[in-house]
Chains A and B, each alone.
Chain A
Amino acid sequence: DAGVIQSPRHEVTEMGQEVTLRCKLISGHNSLFWYRQTMMRGLELLIYFNNNVPIDDSGMPEDRFSAKMPNASFSTLKIQPSEPRDSAVYFCASSLEREANYGYTFGSGTRLTVV
């Protein structure tokens, strides 16, 4: 299995531009989690899905952030318009909901820099 695949690995964009981060889940996993990691705030849960349905988006910082799961194996996180304070490493992780003891498989992350 190729694991959880995130793209791009690095993204540099100008303030005000739209940014789309992508995540491909492990085949058969049905829960998907988006996290943001910064030195100041650590690891923050932004939103998570189960069976393609958003369960809790209370961690999404503002309306500028949106996430979708158009199918069971793929998700996007969009920031529009982007701001310098959005600079962070964004991770997605997937798991098999039926197995709470299964643990997460994380992607390698997307390092976003907004200038």
Chain B
Amino acid sequence: GDSVTQMEGPVTLSEEAFLTINCTYTATGYPSLFWYVQYPGEGLQLLLKATKADDKGSNKGFEATYRKETTSFHLEKGSVQVSDSAVYFCALTLNTNAGKSTFGDGTTLTVKP
């Protein structure tokens, strides 16, 4: 079946460090890919997305590129801030199943000043 595998956390970085959170997927089809962010005490929010190979999604300084050849969608940010501390979820959706998404387990990021 469809699945998403994320880099295990927690990840702890110093402010202004470079961030990479790995995400790979398995899908029986051609999915759209997403990153969601969950801040403490809140629901998940869509951070960025990409719908076809080689597309780059970006938002708030975060980027991820849809790599079909490696079935990956790694999240990156060049300089993290304390306010980026959150849980990050990678997800995929196929054009079937009424748009049901498959989520990874989430990666907790803590950024220290």
Main secondary structure of the interface of A (DSSP, over half): strand
Contact (Cβ within 8 A) A104 B101: yes
Contacts of B25 in A (CB 8 A): none
Contacts of B46 in A (CB 8 A): 103-105
- Max count, chain B CB within 10 A of own CB: residue among A42, A49, A100: A100
A101 to B92, CA, bound (A): 9
| Number of interface residues, chain A, beta carbon within 8 A | 27
28 contacts between A and B (CB under 8 A): A31-B98, A33-B100, A42-B105, A42-B106, A43-B89, A43-B105, A43-B106, A45-B100, A48-B100, A49-B98, A50-B99, A55-B97, A55-B98, A56-B97, A91-B43, A91-B44, A95-B99, A96-B99, A100-B94, A100-B95, A101-B49, A102-B99, A103-B101, A104-B36, A105-B46, A106-B45, A108-B42, A108-B43
**Shortest 9 CB-CB contacts between residues of A and residues of B:** A50-B98, A106-B43, A101-B32, A101-B51, A100-B95, A103-B46, A97-B99, A106-B44, A100-B93
User: A109: nearest residue on chain B (CB-CB)?
Assistant: B43
Contacts of A45 in B (CB 8 A): 100
A106 to B44, CA, bound (A): 6
- Is B88 in contact with chain A by the CB < 8 A criterion? no
Chain A interface (Cβ < 8 Å from any Cβ of B): 4, 31, 33, 42-43, 45, 48-50, 55-56, 91, 93, 95-97, 99-109
- CB < 8 Å: which of A42, A56, A100 contacts B32? A100
A55 to B96, CA, bound (A): 12
Known pairs A56-B100, A96-B99; A104 contacts B42 (CB<8 A): no
Contacts of B99 in A (CB 8 A): 31, 50, 95-97, 99-100, 102
Contacts of A100 in B (CB 8 A): 32, 93-95, 99
Contacts of B34 in A (CB 8 A): 103
Contact (Cβ within 8 A) B49 A103: yes
A43 to B36, CA, bound (A): 13
Known pairs A42-B105, A43-B103; A48 contacts B44 (CB<8 A): no
B33: shortest Cβ distance to chain A, in Å?
9
